[in-house]
Structure 1
Amino acid sequence: MSTVKIAIIGLGYVGLPLARLFATQYPVVGYDIKKKRINELKNGEDTTLEVASDLLQAVLTSDPKAAKGLYISHDEEALKECNHYIVTVPTSVDKNNQPVLEPLISASKKIAKYLKKGDIVIYESTVYPGATEEDCIPVLEKESGFTFNKDFFVGYSPERISPGDKVKTVENILKVTSGSTPEIAQKVDKLYKSVLTTGTHLAPSIKVAEAAKIIENCQRDINIAFVNELAKIFSLMNINTSDVLEAAGTKWNFLPFKPGLVGGHCIGVDPFYLAQKAQQFGYYPEIILSGRRVNDSMGTHVASEVIKLMIDKELKVKGAKVLILGFTFKENCPDIRNTKVIDMVLALQSFGTKTAVYDPWAKRKEVKQEYGLDLTKELYSHKYDAIVLAVSHDEFKTIDLDKLKKKKAVVYDIKDFLDEKDKSL
């Protein structure tokens, strides 16, 4: 094959860090359908905060024929000179928790227009086992007129990006790789290995690589569901869950999971992909779906616990001012995708409370657009009957709760993050 020229399709939380990394050694075209996103990146600004401005600017190029560097465009014609296409578009679920593959299919159709003999298409988007070969490859064949594994080839290397994590970044996370033939698998593996500091694991097939990715998030979801269920049980027994987990954690093989709201674009979504595929084979995945039900119920559970504490303190619930600290799906990150804090907000409002949400990381415009919620601008503008720590942003560690609390205020700490003296539970 001629000199490697890579196209990254989708420049979000996964695609941009990968494009930046590959651009340090290869010519890379970064493509996204969002013009606003493209314009921001061309100016060296990543609003997801996954790639520092200096690192991004160091690889940006305005020359589409540069020997290396990142050329960013929303013009699909920029893809035509590429020979490696890496798909990093989001995969979500609909309101019935059924997989939504439209972005993946759309990306495949777009790539097919520019496929040439010998080209390799690599998928990173999280899917159920079999999706690459059953859903994506037929689209590539139909739209291009080429024959799979004769004219073009396919690989799968699941993303392992953790939004907001500045330690486990893309270059130092071991990546699983795979290919549609043994030879292509080696080529895909070599390509990733050339930019990763921690190496790769070459899976024996694309389906194995797909399955490995999806069970990573299923496993975490189930473990969190277990401790969330414990939190519900111990609350009924008037036992502090954090104290129990700390004591149990003294055993060498006890896994240190904590209760919490499980949102985001991976853990709260991916288990449904495996569950849906399992049911196609006639198997109902009880543990996976039970874990999902437990975790999806935590927002309303926390709201109910807060209301109970308020009643115990003889606080009037209807009209009470409640402050929720944090809205993003995880700490120190602006990502609001599938945040479960909104479930808690709506549940508290259903009791008649006046609920305010403060988050120094979330973008007000995005929150309003996605959830119809106005974030409060000023933290210390009011005093509150109840305060809920929902997301453990570093900024909240130094918060002055005395300036926020009314006399008998409830302080509920979901993340066990605040100082013990400040908490009601």
Structure 2
Amino acid sequence: MYQKLLNKEEKLAVIGLGYVGLPIALAFAKKIHVIGFDINAKRIDLMRQQIDPSNELTKEAFDNTTICFTNDLEVLKEARFYIVAVPTPVDEHNVPDLTPVIKASETIGKVIKKGDCVVFESTVYPGCTEEDCLPVIEKLSGLKAGVDFTYGYSPERINPGDKVHTLENVVKVVSGSDAETLDLVAKVYELVVKAGVHRASSVKVAEAAKIIENTQRDLNIALMNELSIIFDMMDINTFEVLEAAGTKWNFLKFFPGLVGGHCIGVDPYYLTYKSHQLGYNSRVILAGRVINDEMAAYVAKKTVQTIIKSGLNIAASKVLVMGCTFKENVSDIRNSKVADVVKELQGYNVDVHVVDAHADHDELMHEYGFGLHPQVETDYDAVIVAVNHEPYCQLDENYFKSITKPEGLLVDVKGIFRNKIKDLKYWSL
């Protein structure tokens, strides 16, 4: 199959064209024939116009590609190698929601043929591919996994907004249902990943490798957040402590902050969910999740306390929140913890204005029930720089003084203005 893909005699399909799937599809489409499949017809129309609905890729990324964007199953049937890159969120109770990956498996089951290969990239708990997804494909197709069709798992490592650690220069973990499939999957990904591949011994190992990447980061950030709370009680600046400790060669440089998005703030729950099924209740991992999930309320509470200490009526106060995406320099608002900060402040009857250099007003209204304020005003009791978008990093104290009342407060969540604020009240994690 590899040679036929290379000769453009067979086609590769990517199912799910979000912030993970589209870059993969376009990368392969510069080398081989690709079918880009998504159930969202509006997204398909945009991509046919060389527009990335996720606002991550430029129009030039679509140039020199051989790709067919479709939501038609009959077109999808033309592929022989399938890559599944749909999201894997959690529900309101932090329970894994496998609906997208199961629906994708149903789609595969309707189109897969003997001799085909399917590779999952969606982040799941170890065992999900073989225990949850493959049975769905087998039931609908009437084919046997590992006999009539082969399968693999290769966890995505796309980092939204990151122009350095891109698909092509980050090592790709690959796995396969047997040695021959592993070799095929490895060779296919090597077409687009210049950094090379790491061949995992099994699908479960590859799934587990992905899930602990973000769990490790989550726990380290949780430690920094807990230290920030403790150091604040001691009137010590956390970032100064980390700067000093960071002079040791083996000190890991993590920082406090709001942990949202659809990776770090979600993936650990997949691991703890599976461990609970097996009779083990996680303590360390869930403890980290609790700390990180409570940081939005902590930021809001510290802001309110500082305003009250200034002798102001909190119910008559006005606060500006700058940035509401889940991280800097992206437009993605999914699972943004800044939304929790806004809701906490509103719970104190604070008049909250929100601005963002990248987010969309209508998306915010649909997702969280609040939108972007049309313009920055000049009488805020406090300004919270919640996301360090590039334009915000260029601001100075004079700007913040111009939009706040005398003795106004600047809450600098990520500490980007440390040692640069002299007149305003200042607080950071």
Q: TM-score range by the shorter chain?
A: over 0.9
Corresponding residue of 2:419: 420
Q: Alignment partner for residue 45 of structure 1, among 28, 46, 51?
A: 51
1:328-367 correspondence runs (5 A): 328-367=325-364
Structure 2 stretches of 5 or more lacking a match?
none
Deviations 1:291-343 (A, max 9, x none): 00000000000011111211222232112010011000000010111000011
Structure 2: distance between partners of 1:331 and 1:76: 37
Deviations 1:86-112 (A, max 9, x none): 000000111111111111111111111
Corresponding residue of 1:223: 220
The 3-state SS of whatever aligns with 2:118 is strand
Count of residue pairs brought into register by the alignment: 415
Structure 1: distance between partners of 2:252 and 2:175: 30
Q: Alignment partner for residue 191 of structure 1, among 188, 193, 205?
A: 188
Report the alpha carbon displacement of residue 419 of structure 1 after superposing the two structures with TM.
5.2
Cα distance change of structure 1 residues 35 and 99 upon mapping to structure 2, 3 Å threshold: same
Cα distance change of structure 1 residues 93 and 50 upon mapping to structure 2, 3 Å threshold: same
Corresponding residue of 1:56: 62
Structure 2: distance between partners of 1:298 and 1:333: 21
Corresponding residue of 1:63: none
Q: Alignment partner for residue 380 of structure 2, among 376, 379, 384?
A: 384
Residue 174 of structure 2 contacts residue 185 of structure 2 at CA under 8 Å; is this kept in 1? yes
Structure 1: distance between partners of 2:364 and 2:182: 41
| Sequence identity percentage | 50
Deviations 1:177-228 (A, max 9, x none): 0001111011101110121110000000000000000000000000000000
TM-score normalised by structure 1 residue count: 0.96
The 3-state SS of whatever aligns with 1:122 is strand
Deviating above 4 A after TM superposition, structure 1's stretches of 4 or more consecutive aligned residues are none
Structure 1: distance between partners of 2:306 and 2:117: 58
The 3-state SS of whatever aligns with 1:16 is helix
Deviations 1:51-98 (A, max 9, x none): 221121332xxxxxxxxx111112222111100010000001111111
Structure 1: distance between partners of 2:374 and 2:284: 41
Structure 2: distance between partners of 1:352 and 1:54: 46
Alignment RMSD (CA, Å): 1.1
The 3-state SS of whatever aligns with 2:328 is coil
1:136-155 correspondence runs (5 A): 136-155=133-152
Residue 160 of structure 2 contacts residue 330 of structure 2 at CA under 8 Å; is this kept in 1? yes
After the TM superposition, which of the residue ranges 330-339 and 396-405 deviates more from structure 2?
396-405
Structure 2: distance between partners of 1:37 and 1:344: 30
AA aligned to 1:393 is: H
Structure 2: distance between partners of 1:252 and 1:396: 31
- 1:398 matches 2:394: yes
Corresponding residue of 2:250: 253
Q: Alignment partner for residue 69 of structure 2, among 67, 72, 90?
A: 72
Corresponding residue of 1:316: 313
Report the alpha carbon displacement of residue 47 of structure 1 after superposing the two structures with TM.
3.0
1:367-382 correspondence runs (5 A): 367-379=364-376, 381-382=377-378
Report the alpha carbon displacement of residue 171 of structure 1 after superposing the two structures with TM.
1.3
Residue 121 of structure 1 contacts residue 155 of structure 1 at CA under 8 Å; is this kept in 2? yes
Residue 156 of structure 1 contacts residue 178 of structure 1 at CA under 8 Å; is this kept in 2? yes
- 1:35 matches 2:41: yes
Structure 1: distance between partners of 2:224 and 2:418: 21
Q: Alignment partner for residue 118 of structure 1, among 103, 115, 118?
A: 115
Corresponding residue of 2:89: 92
- 1:272 matches 2:278: no
- 1:23 matches 2:29: yes
Structure 1 stretches of 5 or more lacking a match?
60-68
Structure 2: distance between partners of 1:267 and 1:390: 18
AA aligned to 1:121 is: V
Structure 1: distance between partners of 2:121 and 2:316: 48
Report the alpha carbon displacement of residue 147 of structure 1 after superposing the two structures with TM.
1.2
Structure 2: distance between partners of 1:21 and 1:377: 38
